[in-house]
A and B are shown apart, each in its own frame.
Chain A
Amino acid sequence: MNAATITDRHPGDVLLRRERFPHIWCPGCGLGNALRCYVEAMKVSDTPLDKHVVVSGIGCSGRVAGYVNIDSYHTTHGRPIPFATGLKLMKPELEVTVFSGDGDLITIGGNHFIHTARRNLDLNILFVNNFNYGMTGGQFGATTPYAARTTTTPYGNFEQAFNMPLLAAACGAPFVARWTTLHVRQLKEAIQRAFEVEGFAFVEIISPCPIGFGRKNRFADAMDEMTHFREGAVVDHDADLREVGITMRRGDPIVVGNFVDVERPSYDVGKRKLLQKVREGLP
């Protein structure tokens, strides 16, 4: 076996702000993998790199805006989607990606999420779901499974979690995928596809959070949650989305796949069609 080579270069260097490293993420966190998949997808995308823009919110995932070497905006908590909406509408030629976590995107920002999916605005939503609010120290959020323990659910979470692929599809997202941070190749390809899709492209990235979520839920070691993903992951592109909720109980599956990939007129296409009618004087 060859000895490990230590290098000061990273394959994603061209797209990473090296001077910003080391990053702030905890050992065992999945955000690094998610970021790498995003960067790899950008490198092979048809869109020139200077036309890629990332908007992130607040929380651990929010830091991505500072690490990626493209134009980026680090918005307030819960608001990356509305910010990205304004940006995309005024600069349609940009490939606008929202990189956000579960607390930001779907808990405080849930209203923006459902309405923007309904509008089918041409955004890429990279949604890192680690089942808790990491940056504030491990509170429960809208994707925390029932009965899971967090600092604000000391007796277990009384609430039920969102099943995000089902929600996104129900709101009309034309592209819905879910992969874990172990599925780096599939995840990268799903992100590439999200860039191509004209409309609200949603990629859920199931990510370990050993410090915030794992320690209180029997995944204390960084490897435990990853092992659970590896053992529980079931690839099923045609899964019944009503059945893909995640319990994070050992033995229960984590269904992954590219669930939805359909054509549905984007906001821009729909708007142009109606305005064209007006210009041509049609009823």
Chain B
Amino acid sequence: MITNDLAVMIGGRAGDGSLVTGEILAKVFRDMGLEVFTIRDFPSNIRGLPTSYTIRTKDRSIMARKDHPDILLAIDEEALRLHGDELPPDGVVIYDSSSGEGPPDFEREDVHVYQVPLKSITVDNLGGARAEIFKNVVSLGVLAHLLSVDVAIIKEAIEKEFSRKGEEIVQKNFQALDLGAQYADENLAKTDPYVLERRDKQDSLLILGDDAIAYGALAAGLRFYAGYPITPATEILEWLAAHMPEYNGVVVQAEDEISAVTMCLGASYAGLRSMTGTSGPGADLMVEAISMSGMAELPLVIIHGQRGGPSTGLPTKVEQADLKHVLFASHGDFPRIVLAPGTIEEGFYLTAKALNLAERFQLPVIVLTDQALCQNKQTIPPFDLSQIEVDRGKLLNDPIEALQSPNGGNFHRYALVEDGVSPRPIPSIPGGLHEASSIEHDEMGYTTEDPELRKAMMAKRMRKLETARPELPGPVLHGDPSADLVFLSFGYPTGAIWEAMERLKEDGIPTKYVQLRTLWPFPAEEVGDLLADAREILVVEHNYSGQLAALLPTLLGKVLPTTSVTRYDGLLMTPGEIVAAAKEVA
């Protein structure tokens, strides 16, 4: 028996309802008190191409693709052909046998095949060919029976999902579910080892990464969001478009990313918190505004959800190949901060943090994330809003008297202050009159080419990084602090590394993991200390060239023994491949 540890893959076609089925299943597992991580592997297509949705569940927090799916719910033959070989021995196939023939070209003897005439059951009982869409739900009934899941829990989830479509649809789905369970009860003999047991109900949130980011921003006082639709950041735009009006916030879908990010700077100048979100191709267009944010000292937050590149690349797949981009893309020298959440939960808190940092230090802050974190769902503890503090730094919202320059000149918006952060009045504040500018300027913001002033302004801006440094999220140490085999990574691989470390520990190989949360300014001292005694450092990242591994000597100021562990085929890294890589150098 394998209890409470399984991955169900629903294989179907884009637009055939398998996504909704997966969403329902994920909620059912969550409602059973289990932890969930979902993996949408979808094509750049809305209708027709093969797609798969995998729901992992376990009694411990998870955030990685399992080495293999355990149960394949094959909505069509293609799914079986594509994924049948991925199943482990003792794996399960639920297959639509309506055509009367067995699964084509499937000769594995070591997996349990349950043949269910899904289509026939649906068409015969639920209203003809048009009802075929319900066969997904029939298959859920079958699955529920096999895994000993209480059908009532599924009905609750179905009701929540479909109630807005009317009672008739809800009832049809109930009927489909019952038909599946009934068929399984009467015709199938359970031979596979998988079961699920309900745990004490945990108060957990099943949330999409993008939604967590959007919510984190809103919780931290976001009032303006401008974006342009792009995978995997579109859901941030959608979520905020739905929720911001309630808070007098404004969401604009701009004509392009140049406009979106520049609008954010305008809103920032107006004294309100602004943010944009994008992926690689859009981030390219935003580079000029990143420089402008640096020069004009306007707060800017960009959520950068990486996907497969270069160019249009693999638009719906995971990658972490924009690391060098976010660290270095720009013209000119200016300070910036780059943060990298490693989990969906961190996506919430670090986005909120980013808005504070941007405003306190008046510079661009990029939150570097990836498709795996943006577009998958995870169960996490409910957000603790008491942890969210809004710190607006040196923003001046009230009339200014004392600060008015005595000689009749205007407000010294770019005063050459010790910590580099000059007070920032919002426009139309009495006494705060000033020019803000993308061009080199004097303390009042007026254009200047004076060499000494230029040097002083450049130094002032760059000083802000040192002022900010103590407040940046440091690297997190996971695992055995004394281990000399060390993982180094950021973003999605975090979850896969955790699982790999557990398995390595069981095999007697102690490891630790240094998770980077601030990528720039690089915390060279802290990371250097954590890596000091490492015999070997496995740098894990989703890109071809090992960007972090290659940069490490420069970032750290010293050369350490590293092995690059990479993946760039568009699929999520698994714990198994990290274990294998570690064992090679252990």
Contact = CB atoms under 8 A, between A and B. Distances in A.
A178 interface: no
B267 A86 contact: yes
Contacts, number: 132
Contacts of B252: 85, 89
B23 interface: no
A74 B413 CA distance: 14
B263 A83 contact: yes
Given A75-B262, A86-B264, A86-B274, A111 B255 contact: yes
A66 interface: yes
Interface stretch (B73-81, B93-101, B430-438, B486-494): B430-438
A83 B263 CA distance: 5
B66 interface: no
B435 A74 contact: yes
Most chain B beta-carbon contacts within 10 A, residue among A20, A76, A81, A93: A76
A17 B437 CA distance: 15
Contacts of B259: 79, 81-82, 85, 111-112, 115
A75 B410 CA distance: 19
A82 B262 contact: yes
Nearest to A95: B428
Interface string A247-283: 0000000000000000000000000000100100000
Nearest to B413: A71
Contacts of B445: 66, 74
A51 B434 CA distance: 13
A90 interface: yes
A274 B445 CA distance: 40
A36 interface: no
A211 interface: no
B427 A91 contact: yes
A255 to B, nearest CB: 30
B265 A74 contact: no
Contact of A83 (B262, B409, B426): B262
A90 B258 contact: no
A94 B410 CA distance: 19
Nearest to B407: A19
Interface residue SS majority, chain B = mixed
A46 interface: no
A55 B427 CA distance: 12
B351 interface: no
B485 interface: no
Given A65-B437, A275-B245, A84 B427 contact: no
Nearest to B434: A71
Interface residues of B, number: 46
A87 B270 contact: yes
A90 B268 CA distance: 9
A20 B408 CA distance: 13
A91 B428 contact: yes
A172 B118 CA distance: 54
Interface string B257-291: 01110111111111110100000000000001101
B570 to A, nearest CB: 31
A72 B446 contact: no
A53 interface: yes
A89 B250 contact: yes
Point out which of A19, A51, A83 has the most chain B C-beta atoms below 10 A from its C-beta: A83
A229 B508 CA distance: 88
Interface in B381-428: 409-410, 426-428
B256 interface: yes
Contacts of B226: 86
Nearest to B267: A86
A65 B445 CA distance: 10
B292 interface: yes
B439 interface: yes
A85 B223 CA distance: 14
Contacts of A19: 409
B289 A79 contact: yes
A73 interface: yes
Contact of B428 (A50, A69, A89, A278): A50
Given A74-B438, A75-B292, A87 B427 contact: yes
A87 B266 contact: yes
Given A86-B226, A89-B250, A111-B259, A76 B438 contact: yes
B191 interface: no
B447 interface: yes
B134 interface: no
Contacts of B329: none
B37 interface: no
Contact of A73 (B224, B263, B435): B435
A63 interface: yes
Interface in A122-153: none
Nearest to B260: A82
A239 interface: no
B254 interface: yes
Contacts of B437: 65-66, 73-74
Contact of B262 (A65, A79, A89, A94): A79
A84 B252 CA distance: 13
Interface of A: 17, 19-20, 50-51, 53, 55, 63, 65-66, 69-76, 78-79, 81-91, 93-94, 111-112, 114-115, 275, 278
Given A66-B437, A86-B265, A111-B259, 7 more contacts: A66-B447, A71-B427, A74-B437, A86-B264, A91-B427, A91-B428, A111-B255
18 contacts: A66-B435, A69-B433, A74-B435, A79-B259, A79-B292, A82-B263, A82-B266, A83-B266, A86-B224, A86-B265, A86-B274, A87-B427, A89-B263, A90-B267, A90-B270, A111-B255, A112-B255, A112-B258
Q: Which 5 A-B pairs have the closest CB atoms?
A: A86-B266, A82-B262, A86-B267, A86-B263, A71-B427
